[in-house]
Structure 1
């Protein structure tokens, strides 16, 4: 792939995500070697190959930047001002059983802010991307603005561990709250592609436990949602990049407030 070192960081994030997505698409359905991690998690040969493709694009264009990648870890200076966050295949368990619900996430943090990001859907061909100011989706070479809306009432909830906020918050318990069922309908795709869908108006919200600060899984989606005008905080309303606070990304303030109330209800159950 030709590399233009003068291209913007946002365009570079798109190019890198597309490079990873091409590998994911090419290897789909093949018998792939697995590499075991902890807690029942694993990577496949597609994860590793997609990550190499992403890093090749980034390093060719920005050789001095630091990188944190899902499979190969951290490279570059620990305190680097510019750090790329790469998740080459978000939804590995889906992919391994030939489910197409996966994404490729690439984000650039400059200082404390994510200034460019892209999430590629290998199978739809869409790339959701932001330059830190506006959020767009690229289809067939053309860009369209992302417009969040809560009209679907669909809330994607991540049920995968770890659960650092338990027992004060458990995602599964959120789904059993009568207040949730009165207003929302749950979805669980087990990929942070769903965070991009909030920015695109395909989900009303996304909720997860975990530590989104400098997360290769969530940095791109958070940046997309913020640039699109969504309401994005931790589980208890705190800024989303501050420790193990989880994440609520909602299409609008009203949806966010409703989910925040439901989450808070777990911490202070009725007596």
Structure 2
């Protein structure tokens, strides 16, 4: 039986999500990575479960995992990007807002992706053209909507454009609070929520090219028809970088105008 790349991505994300669910609430060893950043035993076990699926189904492909780094042929055209537990700090303090992200980059394009919510038992997935959420084996098309007016912002470091730009300043903008309602989920599950119509938009700074955290959510939003750019409205992964993903053009334009108020001139 032929297994498609999207089936592999979904199966891998589900395998990681099963580990995350099973280990929830347990006493977990922490592995310090850098100041304020750490992995837990659940991150590592979930990544191993994902890698088992990928290596069994696609042994010739390369993989970049958040915890294990890059493996496979250096010249491989196909690269899987794996974030086994996005929201580790949330998870470590028993907050269920986390995601398991698996994406396949072929050449320069992410062609399939899956983001699993271990606790809602949902998998958001795309084959590059369609975007769906799977619940109990049933797929439902993702339909972006700005109706909620909820905008998620990422306040975690690094801040590559500081002091010129800090997304936290957006929260104090009177125009922002008049039109939108801020949320800080601290996991890229919120990016998938824009594709699903559960958030109006998402904003973050950073260089996100080949990011194991963001590749899946960006691919989902693009396939669902969201507006996806950098923080100055430029093509993604160019210029100052960052990410603005919005449910529609009107929301995107409003956010770019507000972000422009926060971008201090370069001296």
Settle same-fold status: TM greater than 0.5: yes
| Alpha-carbon offset, residue 263 of structure 1 | 1.2
Q: In the aligned structure 1, how far is the partner of 2:75 from the partner of 2:252?
A: 34
Match of 1:44 in 2: 40
Match of 2:13 in 1: 17
Unaligned runs of 5+ in 1: none
What CA deviation, in whole Å up to 9, does each residue of 1:35-66 have, x standing for no partner?
Answer: 00112100000000000000000010000101
Q: In the aligned structure 2, how far is the partner of 1:243 from the partner of 1:76?
A: 31
Which of residues 104, 120, 137 in structure 2 aligns to 1:108? 104
**The residue matched to 1:37 in structure 2 has which SS?**
strand
Q: In the aligned structure 2, how far is the partner of 1:76 from the partner of 1:112?
A: 17
What CA deviation, in whole Å up to 9, does each residue of 1:180-220 have, x standing for no partner?
Answer: 11100000010000000000000000001111100000000
Match of 2:82 in 1: 86
| Alpha-carbon offset, residue 264 of structure 1 | 1.5
Match of 1:154 in 2: 150
| Alpha-carbon offset, residue 77 of structure 1 | 2.8
Does the aligned pair in 1 maintain the 2:143–2:195 contact within 8 Å? yes
Match of 2:237 in 1: 241
Q: In the aligned structure 1, how far is the partner of 2:192 from the partner of 2:217?
A: 5
The reply on whether 1:180 has 2:176 as its aligned counterpart is yes
Matches within 5 A, 1:216-231: 216-231=212-227
TM-score (structure 1 length as normaliser): 0.96
Which of residues 133, 146, 159 in structure 2 aligns to 1:137? 133
The reply on whether 1:31 has 2:27 as its aligned counterpart is yes
Does the aligned pair in 2 maintain the 1:24–1:89 contact within 8 Å? yes
Unaligned runs of 5+ in 2: none
**The residue matched to 1:222 in structure 2 has which SS?**
helix
Q: In the aligned structure 2, how far is the partner of 1:246 from the partner of 1:147?
A: 24
Does the aligned pair in 2 maintain the 1:157–1:186 contact within 8 Å? yes
Task: Return closer, same or farther for 1:79/1:261 CA change in 2, 3 Å cut-off.
Answer: farther
Does the aligned pair in 2 maintain the 1:212–1:243 contact within 8 Å? no
Match of 1:99 in 2: 95
Task: Return closer, same or farther for 1:243/1:23 CA change in 2, 3 Å cut-off.
Answer: farther
**The residue matched to 1:207 in structure 2 has which SS?**
strand
Matches within 5 A, 1:50-65: 50-65=46-61
Which of residues 124, 129, 132 in structure 2 aligns to 1:128? 124
Q: In the aligned structure 2, how far is the partner of 1:109 from the partner of 1:260?
A: 28
Q: In the aligned structure 1, how far is the partner of 2:211 from the partner of 2:228?
A: 15
Aligned length: 265
